Amino acid sequence: MAIMKADKLGVSVAKAPSMMTGAIPKKDWWDVPADFKPGNYAYPAKQEIVEYHKFPNPRLWDPESDDWKLPENWKEIILQGLKERLDKFRSLKIFMDCCVRCGACADKCHFFLGTGDPKNMPVLRAELLRSVYRNDFTLAGKLLGKMAGGREMTFGVLKEWFMYFYQCTECRRCSVFCPYGIDTAEITMMGRELLHLVGVNINWILEPAANSNRTGNHMGLQPHTFKDNIEYLCDDIEEITGIRCNPTFNRKGAEVLFITPSADVFAEPGIYTAMGYLLLFEHIGLDYTWSTYASEGGNFGLFTNNEMMKKLNGKMYAEAKRLGVKWILGGECGHMWRVLHQYMDTMNGPADFLQVPTSPITGTVFENAASTKMVHISEFTADLIKHGKLKLDPKRNDHRIATYHDSCNPARAMGLLEEPRYVLKNVCNNFHEMPENTIRESTFCCGSGTGLNTDEIMELRMRAGLPRANAVKYVREKHAVNMLSCVCAIDRATLTSLNNYWNPDVEVCGVSELVGNALVMEGEKERETGLRFEPLAGMEG
C-alpha cells in the first residue's frame, strides 16, 4: 500500500477524528471489531517457516478473510495456555488483577499518540486480554460476567489480539508511569505467546528467528559472507584512514568474544557503527574474535516466546565456551541487551566457565557484570575514555550536531543512560538533548521495534514513530541537529526510515561510529572524510 506523504499524514494525525484529537468513538470498545485492511497488519508467517520452528498449525492463511483456519479446539488451547502462563508468571497475575484504570498510562504510548486508536492505550491493550481472564478465571467474572468487565473468548477477540499485540513494541514506557508498574509489554509478550499456540503469527519475526537459529544471524548470512562483509568494511576503513584492521573469526583462545547485531555487519547505517568497533579494537589492540556461529546479538525470540528466546540466546554462551574466551563484549543493540540483562543468566547461565570481565587496557573490573560476564560496548568505551586510553579528536565530528536517542530497552530494562552520553560528549563537540519528557526513562520508541519494522505496515510505523520524530524535529529546529545517535541496531534501521519521512535532513548513527570518526589511529593518513566517505568540516576543498 502506498504510504501518504508526510505532510498529508501530518494533517491526518492532527485533524482526522481520533481519540487524540478529541473525537470520542460512538461505540463501547468491546463493540468495535478489529478490521484488517491492506497496510494495517503485518503478513502472516509462511507455512514452511512455521514448520521449521515446529510451531503449531502451519498453513496458508489470510488475516483479511474470516476463516483463519484455526484448529477446531482453538479456544480451549488459548484458555489452557493462559492458565499455564498465570501459573508461571506472577507478573501476569498481578497485572491482570491490579489495574484500576486510572488512565495514567493512556497517553504514554507512542502507538496511541500517533494513531489515536483507543485500543492503543496501554490500559485497553491489556483489557483485551484481561476481559477474557476475568470471564474465565475470576469469581467476579464468573458470577457477573459483563458487569464485571468479563468477555468470552471469541474469534473477534482473537482478531483484536492479533491486531493490537502487534501494535505494541514492548517498549515499557507505559510501565514507568503506572502506579503499580503494570508493564503492558509483559502482557503483549503473553498475548503473542498465546497467539502462537494457535498458529497466529507474523513472518517478519519468525523468518529472522529461523535464520538466526540456522545460520547464526537473522539475515541468514552464511559464514563466509559474514566474514567477507566485515572484510569489505576493513577495506573501506583502510581507504579512509590508511589503517588495516585484521579481525579474526571463530578464533579459539581469544580473550574476548564480540557479539553485535548482524545488521551492523551488512546494512547502512549500521555498517558505519561496525567500522567504529573495528577501529576501536584496533586502536587499543584488543585480543578479540568475531563468531560466525553466534553472529546475531538481536534475539527475535524475545518477540516470539520464552522457549525461542532461550534457544537463540543459548548460542552466545555455547560459543564463548567452545572458543574458550574469558568474557563477552556486546555491541550496540537494544533488545539484545534486554535479553542479556534480564534473561540470559537465568535461562542459560551460570556462565562459570567465563571470568568476571576485566578491561585488559585499563584493568577495570566490571563488577556489574560479575555473573553474566557480558559488558556493553558503551560501558567499555566510557571506561577507556575515562582512563585516557583513547586518542581522540572530536573536531572530526564537527560536521555533526548530534542528539541522543535512548533506545527503550537499554533505558527502561537496564538503566544504561549515562555511558553513551559520556562517550558522545567526548567524541563530539556538538551535542544537544531532546526535550526532557522524551529522553532517558521517558524515551520514545522508534515505533517499529519487536519485529514490526516491516514495510507492509509503513504508515503505522510512521504514526507510531511520530513522538520520537517530533522531539528530533524540535532539536533540529532549535539547534540545527543533523545526527540522531543511538545504541540500537533496530533503531538505526527504523529511525532512518522515520527521519527520512518526518525529518529528511537528519541522519542516524551508532555511538561507535562517532567514536571511530574521532579516533586518532597510530600511523594513519590525514583523514579527509568520515566513515561514510562524507567530507569532514574544514576538509571540503
Residue selected from 51, 346, 505, 520 as contacting another protein according to rule CB under 8 A: 346
Question: Applying CB under 8 A, does 54 fall inside the site for another protein?
Answer: no
Return the number of other C-beta atoms located less than 10 Å from residue 391's C-beta: 11
Interactions with another protein, residue window 217-246 (CB under 8 A): 222-224, 227-228
Q: Which does 80 bind (CB under 5 to 8 A by kind): another protein, ligand SF4, none?
A: none
CA distance linking residue 515 with residue 529, whole number of Å? 14
DSSP-based three-state secondary structure for 261 = coil
Q: What are the cell numbers at 174?
A: 507505559
Question: Applying CB under 8 A, does 33 fall inside the site for another protein?
Answer: no
Helix (H) or strand (E) run with residue 327 in it: strand 327-330
Helix axes 184-197, 90-97, angle to 10 degrees: 110
Q: Which does 367 bind (CB under 5 to 8 A by kind): another protein, ligand SF4, none?
A: another protein
Binding string, residues 41-80; x marks residues near ligand SF4 by CB under 6 A: ----------------------------------------
Residue 362 in contact with residue 384, Cβ under 8 Å? Answer: yes
Q: With respect to ligand SF4, which residue has the nearer C-beta, 57 or 407? A: 407
Residue selected from 50, 70, 157, 182 as contacting ligand SF4 according to rule CB under 6 A: 182
Question: Applying CB under 8 A, does 160 fall inside the site for another protein?
Answer: no
Question: Applying CB under 6 A, does 305 fall inside the site for ligand SF4?
Answer: no
First to last CA, the chain: 44
Question: Applying CB under 8 A, does 470 fall inside the site for another protein?
Answer: yes
Q: Which does 90 bind (CB under 5 to 8 A by kind): another protein, ligand SF4, none?
A: another protein
Q: What are the cell numbers at 399?
A: 560536521
Q: With respect to ligand SF4, which residue has the nearer C-beta, 98 or 370? A: 98
- Amino acid 512 reads S
Q: Which does 170 bind (CB under 5 to 8 A by kind): ligand SF4, another protein, none?
A: ligand SF4
Residue selected from 49, 77, 124, 487 as contacting another protein according to rule CB under 8 A: 124
Residue selected from 82, 168, 488, 490 as contacting ligand SF4 according to rule CB under 6 A: 168
Question: Applying CB under 8 A, does 91 fall inside the site for another protein?
Answer: yes
Q: How far is the CB of 243 from another protein (least distance, A)?
A: 21
Question: Applying CB under 8 A, does 435 fall inside the site for another protein?
Answer: yes
486, β-bridge pairs: 405, 510
Question: Applying CB under 6 A, does 413 fall inside the site for ligand SF4?
Answer: no
Question: Applying CB under 8 A, does 211 fall inside the site for another protein?
Answer: no
Show the 3-state SS of 269-311. CHHHHHHHHHHHHHHHCCCEEECCCCCCCCCCCCCCCHHHHHH
Q: With respect to another protein, which residue has the nearer C-beta, 209 or 427? A: 209
214, β-bridge pairs: none
Q: Which stretch binds another protein (CB under 8 A): 159-167, 178-186, 272-280, 525-533?
A: 178-186
Q: Output the DSSP codes for 97-134.
A: H------TTGGG-HHHHHH--GGGSHHHHHHHHHHHHH
Interactions with another protein, residue window 180-199 (CB under 8 A): 180-183, 186
Q: Output the DSSP codes for 227-244.
A: HHHHHHHHHHHHHHHS--
CA distance linking residue 92 with residue 182, whole number of Å? 9
Interactions with another protein, residue window 471-530 (CB under 8 A): none
Q: Which does 437 bind (CB under 5 to 8 A by kind): another protein, ligand SF4, none?
A: another protein
Using CA atoms in the order 213, 380, 513, 253, what is the torsion angle rounded to 10 degrees?
-50
Helix (H) or strand (E) run with residue 6 in it: helix 6-15
Q: How far is the CB of 35 from ligand SF4 (least distance, A)?
A: 20
Question: Applying CB under 8 A, does 458 fall inside the site for another protein?
Answer: no
CA distance linking residue 77 with residue 99, whole number of Å? 26
Helix (H) or strand (E) run with residue 259 in it: strand 256-259
Binding string, residues 8-27; x marks residues near another protein by CB under 8 A: --xx-xxx---xxxx-xx--
- C-alpha R_g of the chain: 24
CA distance linking residue 376 with residue 369, whole number of Å? 9
Nearest to 431 by CA among 422, 439, 442: 422
Helix axes 122-137, 184-197, angle to 10 degrees: 60
Q: How far is the CB of 29 from another protein (least distance, A)?
A: 7
Question: Applying CB under 8 A, does 37 fall inside the site for another protein?
Answer: no
Q: Which does 37 bind (CB under 5 to 8 A by kind): another protein, ligand SF4, none?
A: none
Interactions with ligand SF4, residue window 93-152 (CB under 6 A): 99-105, 108-109, 111, 122-123, 125
Q: Which does 435 bind (CB under 5 to 8 A by kind): ligand SF4, another protein, none?
A: another protein
374, β-bridge pairs: 328
Chain residues that interact with ligand SF4, rule: CB under 6 A: 99-105, 108-109, 111, 122-123, 125, 168-174, 178-180, 182, 184-185, 188
